[in-house]
Structures are given as C-alpha cells and as structure tokens.
Amino acid sequence: MPDDFERMWGDLAPVGRSASSGGYFRQPFTSPERELHAWFGEQCTARGLRIESDDFGNVVGWWDIRSDDPAVLTGSHLDSVLDGGAYDGPLGVVSALAAIDLMRARGVVPSRSLGVSVFVEEEGSRFGLACLGSRLAAGAISWDVARSLTDRDGVALGDVVAGGTSSLLAGVGTFVELHVEQGRDLVDRGTAIGVASEIWPHGRYRFDFTGAANHAGTTRMEDRADPMLTYALTVLAANEQARLAGHRATFGRVSVEPNGTNAVPSKVTGWLDARCATDAGLAELVAAIERQAAERTEVDGTSLRLTAESVSGSVAFDPALAAAVAADHEGGDWPIIATQAGHDAGILSAAGIPTAMLFVRNPTGISHSPDEHASIADCLVGVSALADTLERLTR
C-alpha cells in the first residue's frame, strides 16, 4: 500500500507544474486538469470501480455493493488555484484510492457501496465560483445561472461543458473528505490527523472603483480622480478591520484600466476574500470595509460599485459523526478543529448529507502556494485514518 500511494503521487507530481515557480496550474477544463481526470479514470478501472459522471464534469468511481443502505462517498478535487500547491485537493483523491487498496488488503468487504469522487472547479480559479462542481451536483446552483459564468478570457462555462443534470449524489448517505490542513493547528498540537468541526462563512466580493484617466506627468495631484488611491486605502481599511476583530480579509486579485505606467487609471477592480467565525461577523466586516471605501471615494472624487460574487454561510459538520470519526484511535482521540477554508464537504453538508472531514498535518502551515507540503509519513497515516473511517461507515 505505501508503494501504491507513492507511485500514484509520483504520477501526478509533474502534471501542470510550473518550471519557474514550482507551483501548479491545473485550472478546470484545461489540459493539465483533463490529464488528471483521465488518470483518475484509469485508476478506477484498474481497481474495478464503476465510473459514473454527470453533465457538469464531476466523476465518481464506485465500489458497488448489493445493498439498499445509503452509499458512502469520499474524495476531493484535482484542480488548483493559480500557482498553487500539490496537496490541496489531489491528496484527498489519491488517499481515497489508496484507502480502498488498504481496505481490500485488510480483507474488508463493505456492506454498502463506496465511491471515490472528483468534483470540478472546487477552487473557483477559472470561473470565479468556488465549489462549483459540487454546487451543481447538489442543486445549490442551477445550470441556467452557472452556464453564463465566464473566465478571464470571456469564455463561458456553457462553452466548455455541456451542462444538464446530475444524479451522482442520489443515494449517498455520508460524505468524507480528506484534505491537507491549510494552517498550523495540527502542527501546534503535535498530531498528524484532525477532524473538522465547522467551516467559517466566507465570501468573494468585487470592488469596482471608477475615476478619470489622465496623464501621469501633467496632471497635478490635487486635480486627479485616481481610483488606484481609493483602492489602496480600501485594502488598508480591510486589513485593519480584520485584524481588530480576528477575521480574515484579503485583496489578492486586481485589474487596472488602462494599465499604463504613465497614466492615471480610469478604473481599478479588486476582489476581496473575506472570512469570519460567524455569518453576522462576515456581514459586519464587509459592511465596514464598504463604508470606509465609500467615504474615501468622496475624498478622491471616485465612485464605487460593490458586487457580492459568492457568499457561503457557516457550515457546522454533524457533531455526532465528527465525534465518532475522531474517537478511539491508537494514541487517543483525534482533535476536532475548525477550518477557515472552503471545501466541497461544506456544500454537501449544507445539502443535508452527513459529512465529515479529515485533515493531514501541514508542517509549513502554508497553502495555496508552491510551499504547501505534507510528509509522506503523515500522508500514509492519513490513508490509514481514512481507511479506518470508511470501514466504520460501511459496516
């Protein structure tokens, strides 16, 4: 089993990797991500798993069992953020396949069907909406709305995938997602495995600041209507508001028009990622940032339009399921911890499917970066932990 995991991990390592940064570019429906999906299909076939896909690009490999009991589903995603790390998503898929291998090596025969899933566009790195594939599979967003989402080149989702319906989640009674931890909680606790208690609410918001283009040399500072200045002060305001309340606020993407070195810009668009411990806290944080941005437009002679592109409410995972997954392991119970990152597991939980998450320790604490990491030793502990969990749930 260790050889199987390491061999699979080695197969994925070069796909979509940047030679310059070492990071990954595995955006949905691009060649690297499609190559990974083809690899997943080959792995399922090699294990005798029945492959089922929906009209949105989501895929499940089923270990079919003749039973009327609800199925158990595990898995994650294979797409990445721009210049992302190797582990976010693929670790859950590879570990799920390796867990099935381990269960079979143990002689385990489940009493209900067990599936390994790959959901598309989890990161929202191409079409702007995180967990898009699982949202479509769960009916949390309609195809009529999703099909018009566009990428940075103006290509619509409906132009790259047929769309329609999904029945992948029909008959699923439980979902378990293994994921690399995106933080240092497990490092600080000195343990390799944790179990999720909740996902913080989070949202993505587009701030469009409009001013007046002008010459960088001949326009006096006091005569400018510079949206870059308004944007910059808004970034600082977001940082201050988040720090004061223990929230998260990040402007990680910006677009400038006309984007010239010697011109005052006419428009600056910045995307805010905001996360808080409560839904009320999220609303208050964004309102405070918007208020300070609006006040700054009065000073700069600019204007603001704020658009909430996606907002996901807080998710509390089934506490009884989390406790059962965390309990009675060699060395004691696994810790139950909150996560500030969004996951497909949150979408399925919100859709009414009892859901649990396992985290594997990340020694750097860094994620969405080429420096994201997990040791092979901890990954193998994760495979064993996932196999133990699936065995319990499929008895």
Q: Flag whether pLDDT at 31 surpasses 90.
A: yes
Structure tokens at 312: 């996901």
Q: What is the pLDDT of residue 316?
A: 93
Least confident of 49-58, 144-153, 193-202, 320-329: 320-329
The pLDDT score that the predictor gives to residue 277 is 93
If you average pLDDT over every residue of the chain, what do you get? Answer: 96
Which amino acid, residue 182? Q
- Residue 1 is predicted with a pLDDT of 46
In the predicted structure, residue 66 carries a pLDDT above the cut 60: yes
Cα separation of 377 and 384, whole Å? 11
pLDDT at 122 over 80: yes
Single-letter code of the amino acid located at 154 = G
Fold: same for 2-200+314-393 and 202-312: no
**Band of the pLDDT at 358, cuts 50, 70, 90?**
very high
Q: What percentage of the chain reaches a pLDDT higher than 70?
A: 99
Least confident of 105-109, 279-283, 324-328: 324-328
Amino acid at 52: E
Q: Estimate to the nearest angstrom the gap between the alpha carbon of 159 and the chain centroid.
A: 23
- Provide the pLDDT confidence category of residue 331 given band limits of 50, 70 and 90: confident
**What's the pLDDT tens digit per position in 7-16?**
999 999 999 9
How many Å apart are CA 73 and CA 64, to the nearest integer?
Answer: 12
Res 330: pLDDT: 77
Q: In the 8-state DSSP scheme, what is residue 364?
A: T
Compute the C-alpha angle 364/131/248, nearest 5°: 50
Rounded Cα distance, 180 and 360, in Å: 5
Class of the domain covering 202-312: alpha beta
Say whether 43 sits in a helix, a strand or coil: helix
Non-local (6+) Cβ contacts of 355 within 8 A are 174, 175, 176, 177, 317, 318, 321, 345, 346, 348, 349
Mean pLDDT value of segment 365-373: 94
Q: Which residue in 104, 97, 111 sits closest to 174, CA to CA?
A: 111
CATH class in words for 2-200+314-393: alpha beta
pLDDT at res. 302? 98
2 pLDDT above the threshold of 60: no
Which pLDDT value is given to residue 29? 97
Query: Is 57's pLDDT higher than 60?
Result: yes
pTM across the whole model: 0.87
Kindly indicate the confidence band of residue 3, based on its pLDDT and cuts at 50, 70 and 90: low
In the chain, domain spans? 2-200+314-393, 202-312
- Given this model, what pLDDT does residue 329 score? 82
